[in-house]
Amino acid sequence: MKRRTQWLIALVVIVALGLLVLRTLHARKVARDAATVPAAAAAGGLELARSDVVIARPVEITRTLALSGGLKAVNSAVVKAKIAAELKSLTVREGDTVAAGQVIGQIDTTEADLRLQQAAQTAETSRAQLDIAQRALENNRALVAQGFISATGLETSVSNHAAAQASYQAAVAAVSLARKSVSDARLVAPISGLVSQRLVQPGERVPIDGRIVEIVDLSRIELEAAVAPEDVGSIQVGQTARLRVDGIGEPVTAKVVRINPSTQAGTRSVMVYLALSPNPALRQGLFAKGTVELQRTSALAVPLDTVRIDAPRPYVFVLADGRIARRLVTLGQRGDGGPDGQREAFVEVTDGLTDGSVVVRATVGAVRDDTPAHLAAAAPAASAASAN
């Protein structure tokens, strides 16, 4: 008997807890419904501000593609050492302006001068040997004509003369090569621009092809952007873009000028090059991101934030006949729309809305289908200002 009483008490406790849970859930539902449709608006329905609705109208939608990458100068050059020697002087530093053909430094020519002197002396020796071979050839020709020596002896003199002449020409070429090494000791800027890197200091020994100075021409700057293979087919030369560059407040316009015919190893992305409009604030290496305009179309569209996707099919709420109604919609392409300076994301509606439908924005929050609603009247202050 006592055990049965315990079971009954436990059952009563469980039932009481269940009722308490059901009561709590019901209270939450009532509170949620009350928040959805405020009691203050019960008499006249939900009051919507003018900014809470938008009229569905044909809008010019601009389909875009996001891009990002680093800026790079179209023209750049690296001044390298053409001879191995000590850097004697370097007159430019980072940020200095240089002109094409300007002498910016000097490599020590002591070794080059000695090699030039050696080559010149070797050429003199070869010249003397050529003169000896020339005289011997002339004498042997005279002797052959008089019958004192055979034709075989003359052939030997011809061969010796040809060998001496070739040696002399090689020595002359060595002199020219040594003279060029002396002239290569002068460091000359190949293009006009700004010095971006100074890689060697005077007194250091530089090897052949050692990098000394890098020069960039900032008059032409490009954006190098990697585009996915599935998107590169939509990009064409001549399309315009609006970019945001680090450190520059205003957007910078750009245009697609080249598309790489090959993909990048590993990522399989394609490099697209956009020429930026001239801007003195642009620098090589800055990061930029933005959108390139792919296509412009005119279609019935609404702002993207009016479409709700918490159901199997997308839908919107419209204000019609003093009530909020739920309308299922079929969406098309997306893009930017609206007047310049107030552009926002739009989406095309191919079915479910008509031109002139009053669509409720998501700023209203959660609403229920068939809720009474009306638009708020214009503020008196605004009406007085317009009257004045």
The share of the chain scoring above pLDDT 90, in percent, equals 47
pLDDT confidence of residue 191: 95
Residue 71 vs residue 138, higher pLDDT: 71
Q: pLDDT-based confidence at 2, cuts 50/70/90?
A: low
Domains in the chain (CATH in brackets) are 41-56+307-381 (2.40.420.20), 65-74+218-294 (2.40.30.170), 114-174 (1.10.287.470)
CB 369 within 8 A of CB 327: no
Q: pLDDT-based confidence at 190, cuts 50/70/90?
A: very high
Q: pLDDT-based confidence at 165, cuts 50/70/90?
A: very high
pLDDT confidence of residue 384: 42
Indicate the residue type of 220.
R
Cα dihedral value 195, 197, 201, 202, nearest 10: -20
Residues 51-90: tens digit of each pLDDT: 889 889 898 888 888 899 999 999 999 999 999 999 999 9
Q: Give, in order, the Cα–Cα distances in Å from 207 to each of 48, 103, 313, 359.
A: 77, 20, 69, 72
CA distance 172 to 119: 8
Residue 4 vs residue 41, higher pLDDT: 4
Predicted TM-score of the model (pTM):
0.62
What does the pLDDT average to over 240-250? 90
Residue-averaged pLDDT of the chain: 85
Q: pLDDT-based confidence at 38, cuts 50/70/90?
A: very low
The share of the chain scoring above pLDDT 70, in percent, equals 88
What does the pLDDT average to over 273-280? 92
Residues 83-129: tens digit of each pLDDT: 999 999 999 999 999 999 999 999 999 998 999 999 999 999 999 99
What is the DSSP code string of 53-97?
A: EEE-EEEEEEEEEEEEEEEEEEEEEEEE-SS-EEEEEE---TT-E
pLDDT at 236 over 80: yes
What does the pLDDT average to over 243-253? 90
pLDDT at 343 over 80: no
